Amino acid sequence: MTASEPEIPNPVAGVAEGREAASMSVHGAAIWAMAGQYLSFAIQFITSVIISRFFLTPAEVGLFSIALSAALVASVLQDFGLTRYIAGLARIDEDSLARCSSVALVFSLIITGIIAGAAWPMAHAYHQPALMPMLLIIAGSYLFLPLSVVPLALMGRTMSFHGHFAVNVGGAVAQAVVGLGLAAAGYSSFALAWATLASGVSRGIIAQIIRPALPWPLRLDGIRPIVGTGSRLTTLYASGALGTRTPDMIVGKLLSLMAVGLYSRAVGLSDQFRMLISGAIGSVFYPAFARIRDRGEPLGPAYQRVVAGYTAVIWPGMAGLALAATPLVRLLYGPHWMGVAPLLTIISLTELFLVSLPLHTDLPILMGKINKLLALNVWDTLMSVGFLALGCHWGVTGAAA
């Protein structure tokens, strides 16, 4: 760290004393995280295939993708660094817990307000009146966010990933049931919006049952360290969100609903496959590396093993997905979705580069290098958005490229 770069307030740097004992080993936590990820993936994947093949057209999926992308840009505030802050505390008492829960509630209200406020302008900008009620439904899901954020952070802090399993799978089941039911009943794109709300409600209820941490009464005294850490982390995540969560909006504005539907499905399938083969284990790494740091041990050897593992599973997996894109899309979604195949090939090959440096944001945060990371992230975002807009001049294939 340079002399001019202030360090994020870190309550644990070099301190392991006082931290709760982990409820399970890293190996056990990884198994639970992977089980939850894989089962949730299976539920969501099967649901998306059925809905796309039998109920919704690419244009209908594209309309929802635009609404969800707009909501996800605002949702960068949803965690407000609480997961990282709670994981980093040497010890946590009832006062700290109440403050973190209160911060979660305040920022969920802010997110809900931002999304609801953007509903009419988005509908006007895209000349799609249905975007307004759809965004209002999605905004409602964030009202239940405080019920799950802090409990999940507390479970992650003690490596209690069986709780994460229950929350993630429960949310996926609720989303699938509501989405399939309403899509079959003819609710079109709104089926996906109501399914998003159902997932948020169920996740919050399940999390509170497993690890109660209600966000009231409000406790706003002494929250300066939380806000200080969260504001810097949120600035970092916001810069990244503009690059990862606006593509559907850009494609939808510069091209068409049909194009954004195909593009969204290709990106979603690639992301789902990557998460299937590697994503679950990622949630275990931050608390695991935090414990290595607290013990004063070097992070390098553990990180090299992570890189080796990611390379071994993701490179052949994504290369195989790229080669099998055409028959896979025909099998899963049917002939009216075949425009997804060439996009999926391009995007899958991109994943080979994106995963070559796993934990590229987590470890700099852990080491207090957030200012340098933020500067690099801003450049990355500007280049990503700029190239995407330029690629749209050559259609949806150009956007993917």
Give the integer Cα–Cα distance in Å for 301 and 246. Answer: 36
Record the tokens describing residue 85, joined without a space.
């802050």
Q: pLDDT band at residue 85, thresholds of 50, 70 and 90?
A: confident
Q: pLDDT band at residue 43, thresholds of 50, 70 and 90?
A: very high
CA–CA distance from 306 to each of 282, 354, 373, 384 (Å)? 10, 15, 20, 26
Sequence-distant (6+) residues with CB within 8 A of 312 are none
Interval 176-230: pLDDT, tens: 999 999 999 999 999 999 999 999 999 999 999 998 888 878 888 877 777 776 6
Give the integer Cα–Cα distance in Å for 117 and 132. Answer: 10
Q: Looking up tokens 């450049």, which residue turns up?
A: 379
Task: Check: pTM over 0.75? Answer yes or no.
Answer: no
Res 41 pLDDT > 50: yes
Give the integer Cα–Cα distance in Å for 301 and 226. Answer: 31
Q: Tell me the average pLDDT of the chain.
A: 82
Query: Strand, coil or helix: what is 257?
Result: helix
Report CA dihedral (218, 221, 224, 229) to the nearest 10 degrees: -30
Closest CA to 379 of 237, 181, 243: 243
Q: Quote the pLDDT of residue 10.
A: 44
Res 6 pLDDT > 50: no
Mean pLDDT is lowest, of 136-145, 294-303, 364-373, 386-395, for: 364-373
Q: How many CB atoms lie within 10 A of CB 305?
A: 10
Angle at 108 between CA 106 and CA 111, to 5 degrees: 115
Give the integer Cα–Cα distance in Å for 202 and 366. Answer: 31
What is the average pLDDT across 120-144?
93
Res 8 pLDDT > 50: no
Give the integer Cα–Cα distance in Å for 106 and 86. Answer: 17
The most distant pair of C-alpha atoms in the chain lies apart, rounded to whole Å, by 61
Residue 88 vs residue 169, higher pLDDT: 169
Give the integer Cα–Cα distance in Å for 400 and 344. Answer: 8
Res 23 pLDDT > 70: no
Interval 246-264: pLDDT, tens: 888 899 889 988 999 999 8
Res 270 pLDDT > 50: yes
Q: pLDDT band at residue 128, thresholds of 50, 70 and 90?
A: very high
Q: Quote the pLDDT of residue 80.
A: 64
Res 11 pLDDT > 50: no
Interval 300-318: pLDDT, tens: 888 888 888 888 888 888 8
What is the average pLDDT across 75-85?
67
Mean pLDDT is lowest, of 95-99, 105-109, 240-244, 258-262, for: 240-244
Interval 336-378: pLDDT, tens: 899 999 999 999 988 787 767 777 777 887 787 877 888 888 8
